[in-house]
Amino acid sequence: MCWLLLLLLSRSSSSIFPPRPGIMAEFSDLLLSVLSSVRVPRSGDRVHKDECVFSFDTPESEGGLYICMNTFLGFGKQHVEKHYQKTGQRAYLHLRRTRLPKVDDGSSGAGDPPKKKPTRLAIGVEGGFEVDTENFEYDEEVKVIILPENAIILRDSLTLMSTAVRDRVSASIDAMLAADSASRKQEIQAWDGEVRQVSKHALDLKQMGNNLRIPPCGWKCSRCDLKENLWLNLTDGSILCGRRYFDGSGGNNHALEHYKQSGYPLAVKLGTITPDGADVYSYDEDDMVLDPNLAEHLSHFGINMMKMQKTDKTMTELEIDMNQRIGEWETIQESGVHLKPLYGPEYTGMQNLGNSCYLNSVMQVVFSIPDFQNKYVGNLEKIFKDSPSDPTQDFNTQVAKLGYGLLSGEHSKPPPETEDSDPEPGKQVELDGIAPRMFKTLVGKGHPEFSTNRQQDAQEFFLHFINMVERNCRSSENPNEAFRFLVEERINCLASGKVKYTQRVDYIMQLPVPMEAAINKDELAEYEVKKREAEEDKNTLLEMVRAKIPFESCLQSYAMPEQVDDFWSTALLAKSVAVKKTRFASFPDYLVIQIKKFTFGLDWVPKKLDVSIEMPDELDISQLRGGGLQTGEEELPDIAPPLVTPDETKAPVLDESVVIQLAEMGFPLEACRKAVYHTGNSGVEAAMNWVMSHMEDPDFANPLVLPCSSGPGSTVTVSDLPSEDSIATIVSMGFSREQAARALKATSNSLERAVDWIFSRIDDLDAEAAMDVSEGRSAAESLSESVPPGPKVRDGSGKYHLFAFISHMGTSTMCGHYVCHIKKEGRWVIYNDQKVCASEKPPKDLGYIYFYQRAGS
């Protein structure tokens, strides 16, 4: 009978039922027995139909994907049986897709059209940067699997079942197939960097009645002789040059200076005016904007917008050109040479999920370190067994899944060889790699930056990941010990001669770049002259000349004593001048060095120092070890300094590095200053928590007002005793009553903020809270404020050898691209998202973050 062919059983011989006349009723009864557990997904449910929660199996994998019809979690073939045994869930929707090449019907012409040069600063939209399109179709099989019987029931056979079974199961299948997958809901398919908002000044812009008429061409800056990158102020008709770019090109900042002097906010870029519009910039709003009345505003100065033609590059075109800078991109990606693809364990690439290269590069390096391999991949079975009901929300599970995917080699297999075709010479083989969607979603959850698809700073993500590891390793093996080291800070009060020694935990050595130490100053000066000459000859293409900074000079700058003005001396009980010296109190197994290439100019515009630093393969920093209190030195009294001294009402000295980091994320400058003030200079993590907790405050962006001043401002009141319920809640998490009370006191008795506060200071919990304010801490110190008790900090020789580095291409941390190079099996390997190849010319002088391993380990 035909209907018998629609009912299939497992291919396993042990599960085949002998066909008999009552088989239809038997299968109907089987579905009826699980019907109560079959759910129809609602709009809020996440259907994980693209990827296994424990592996990177997908419907395209050999065994397909099994989606639980109750929880909507997806499982690969090797994990579905374990889920059934753990939960008792028996009904699963089995998806199996077979990739088929698209059939060319001849209507599109022969071959693929050449890729168009991007004309729009966007991804996945017309004219923007192209995303890879699929040149294949899918043949999809949909079945229902019942465990433990391993019965396989085809979707079409449901029409022969009872009405109750057919309606419920069909509704569940249809809804699961129609629902957006969990990963799809998290992704932004297209990003448009040109979407602009209407300026708040456009509708009521005041224009001077000076009868000024602007000619249609022949413009030049009224303060210098520049004839390009010119901006017409829409209030008074001034024509002035634009900003100077990070690489020295652009203008002389005269248009910006004019705004600061006059306050006239809107300007249009001359040469971009066409009947369709123009580039309009709002200095007050600090962004490109729309001006609905642009034609009227231009006609005020005699400019007929309908007759204008484009003669200069738009700001979008300039940024696209910047993102395609040939020199740096080709060098770091080694795109000028043919690279041999590598396959197998530890050679698995990671797909770029839309500006996720920062995450890919960091995690490739992290899982090249044995501590992380042993913690997560070595304990894989236990982590998976102990995972909660929703493994997608469990940090340890998703980190272990990612680690196994990178190290196992299951997703890094060479393409099958074909006898009838040879690879084209010089053609790079495209690899799929793994897509860390669940991991990225989880580690970015709740974070204002890492939860987006924007580009991020790899160093900030590294510290964010380290912080999350700390939170999830309180009572277990902690792989962060590989990176953790103690910093010794010696402060010498020059007036009293007394000293103070403090130790703190850090994870990154931040190395300054002394530009004045460049060894090719003559070459740089010659390059600047040629670049200015080339500005007049658009056809001239100059080879970039970078400042060559000796590594020894960077090391000397790090070790150089730092003068501390307005130092509160506890010996004098007054302000003094002190000298601070930073040294290592311990040397970690793996030393992470960040080259401080990114900085802010005087106008708060972020810029990148384009430098070349020859990093040594072998490094010895033994001379940087501190020695603690020396014979004959007298310590400063251990008295907590006031945040504001009695003789002043001005704002205290704030950690400008933290203020800058927050401002770079887009928060108002005054809000950033208040965040650093109210968290006592305790680092970027604490300040970020303050920002997120106070974003809705009406005075969030108002200037900082000290509690002792008479002006308005928010003053944190901590005198009220915390509630017993809040203390009990925190104590139930495993913390002491004293720790709970301290956390609530520091967060104005806000339970939610107190929990964040206490988890961000895990290593500090056993230290006594003798001081509410700590001095001179770096961004990583939000992870810990004191020496962790016990054997949590390793120590050893200060001799290292280079084993990995992360490089950045682009103008700032907020754009561009990251790749990493890792030394494996005696050779350098480049990890460029999903591409993993043997490196031919590792650009060790252009790196951003370097990883050194202790020699002999």
The set of catalytic residues is: 357, 817
Residue 187: CA count within 13 A, CB half-sphere: 20
d(CA 503, CA 777): 10
Number of H helices, E strands in the chain: 22, 30
Other beta carbons less than 10 A from residue 88's beta carbon: 10
Query: Can you name the residues that pair with 690 across neighbouring β-strands?
Result: none
d(CA 508, CA 683): 14
Q: Which two tokens stand for residue 284?
A: 């007050």
d(CA 665, CA 667): 6
d(CA 794, CA 590): 10
Query: In 408-484, where does DSSP find H-type helix?
Result: 437-444, 458-471
Tokens 């935990």 belong to which residue? 505
d(CA 73, CA 555): 51
Q: How do beta strands 509-511 and 590-595 pair? A: parallel
Tokens 């099958």 belong to which residue? 416
Phi-psi group of 748: left, alpha or beta (phi > 0 → left; psi -120 to 50 → alpha; rest → beta)? left
DSSP state of 4: G
**Distance, C-alpha 342 to centroid of its chain:** 27
Other beta carbons less than 10 A from residue 241's beta carbon: 25
d(CA 290, CA 279): 8
Query: In 14-162, where does DSSP find H-type helix?
Result: 23-34, 77-87
Q: Which helix (H) or strand (E) holds 688?
A: helix 684-694
DSSP state of 136: E
DSSP state of 376: I
Sign of CA dihedral 785, 791, 795, 801: negative
Beta strands in 482-573 (DSSP E): 485-493, 499-506, 509-511, 547-548, 562-569
Long-range contacts (CB closer than 8 Å, 24 or more residues apart) made by 710-716? 714/674, 716/678, 716/748
Sign of CA dihedral 842, 845, 846, 850: positive
The contacts of residue 508 (CB under 8 Å, 6+ apart) are: 459, 462, 463, 483, 592, 593, 594, 778, 780, 849
Tokens 């990883």 belong to which residue? 851
The contacts of residue 653 (CB under 8 Å, 6+ apart) are: 566
Q: Which two tokens stand for residue 33?
A: 């027995």
Nearest partner of 460 among 471, 472, 447, 478, judged by Cα: 447
d(CA 182, CA 442): 12
Measured CA to CA in angstroms, residue 42 lies from 31, 73, 389, 626 at distances of 21, 14, 19, 61
Question: What are the backbone angles phi and psi of residue 317, rounded to the nearest 5°?
Answer: -65, -40
Sign of CA dihedral 533, 330, 362, 401: positive
Angle (CA) 12-13-18 rounded to 5° is 120
DSSP state of 291: -
Q: Which two tokens stand for residue 274?
A: 């066409």
d(CA 418, CA 783): 53
Question: What are the backbone angles phi and psi of residue 264, rounded to the nearest 5°?
Answer: -75, 115
